[in-house]
Chains A and B, each alone.
Chain A
Amino acid sequence: MSIIQINNLHKTYTDTKVPVKAVNGISLSIEEGEFTAIVGPSGSGKTTFLNLMGGLDTPTEGDILIGDKNIKDLNSRQLIDFRLHHIGFVFQSYNLIPVLTAIENVAFIMELQGIPKKERHQIAMELLKKTGLEGKENYRPGELSGGQQQRVSVARALASKPKFILADEPTANLDSASTEDLLNMMAELNKSENMTFIFSTHDKRVMDKARRIVTIDDGKVVSDV
Chain B
Amino acid sequence: MIASIAWRNLWRNKLRSFIIIAAVMVGILGGVGSDGFMEGMVDQRVNTAIANELSNIQLHQPDFLLNNEINYTISNPDQYIEVANQMPEVKGASKRLICGAMASTATAATSVLIFGVIPEQEKKVTGIYQKVYSGNYLTDDQRIPVVVGKKLADKLELNINSKLIVTLADSSGTITYGAFIVVGMYQTSNNLYDEAHIFVRINDLGRLTGITGQVHEIAISLFDNEQTSLVFNKLSSSFKQQIDNKSIDIRTWEQLEPLLKSMIEMTAFFSYLFLVIILIALAFAIINTMTMAILERKREIGMLMAIGMNRGKIFTMIMLETLFLAIVGGLVGLLMSYGLVEYYAHYGLDFGSMGSGMSYIGYDSIVYFKVTDGFYLASFILVAITAVLSSISPSIKALKLNPVDAIRELN
Residues in A lying within 8 Å of B, measured CB to CB: 47, 51, 54, 56-57, 77, 80-81, 83-85, 89, 91-95, 97-100, 104, 107-109, 111-112, 156, 160, 168-169, 172
A95 and B407: CB pair below 8 A?
no
Please report which residues of chain B, range 290-324, place their CB below 8 angstroms from some CB of chain A when the two chains form the complex.
299-300, 303-311, 313
Contact (Cβ within 8 A) B1 A108: yes
| In the complex, chain B residues 1-37 whose Cβ is within 8 Å of any chain A Cβ | 1, 5, 8-9, 12
Q: List chain B residues, Cβ under 8 A from A99.
A: 5, 8-9, 12
Q: How far is the CA of A81 from the CA of B306 in the complex (A)?
A: 10
Cβ–Cβ contact A160 & B308, under 8 A: yes
Residues of B with C-beta under 8 A to A160:
307-308
Chain B residues near A84: list those with CB within 8 A: 307-310
A95 and B303 within 8 A (CB): yes
Complex CA gap A216/B331 in Å reads: 59
Pair A111/B308 contact, Cβ less than 8 Å = no
Do most interface residues of chain B lie in helix, strand or loop, or is the interface mixed? Answer: helix
Contacts of A172 in B (CB 8 A): 411
CB distance from A118 to the nearest CB of B (A): 14
B408 contacts A by Cβ under 8 Å: yes
Tell which of A91, A100, A168 touches B5, judged by Cβ atoms closer than 8 Å.
Answer: A100
* Interface residues on chain B, number (Cβ under 8 Å): 23
Residues of B at under 8 Å CB distance from A?
1, 5, 8-9, 12, 299-300, 303-311, 313, 403-404, 407-408, 410-411
Given known A81-B310, A97-B5, A97-B300, contact A51–B410 (CB-CB < 8 A): no
Cβ–Cβ contact B307 & A83, under 8 A: yes
Task: Note all chain A residues with C-beta closer than 8 A to B407.
Answer: 51, 56, 91, 168
Contacts of B404 in A (CB 8 A): 51, 56-57
Query: What are the residues of chain B within 8 A of A85 when measuring CB–CB?
Result: 308
Is A98 a contact partner of B12 (Cβ separation < 8 A)?
yes
How far is B297's CA from A98's CA once the two chains are assembled, in angstroms? 10
**Which chain A residue lies CB-closest to B2?**
A111
**List of A residues within 8 angstroms of B308 by Cβ:** 80-81, 83-85, 109, 112, 160
A93 touches B306 (CB 8 A): no
Contact, CB under 8 Å: A94 / B410: yes
Closest Cβ of chain B to A75, distance in Å, is 12
Q: Pick from A89, A100, A104, A168: contact of B307, CB below 8 A.
A: A89
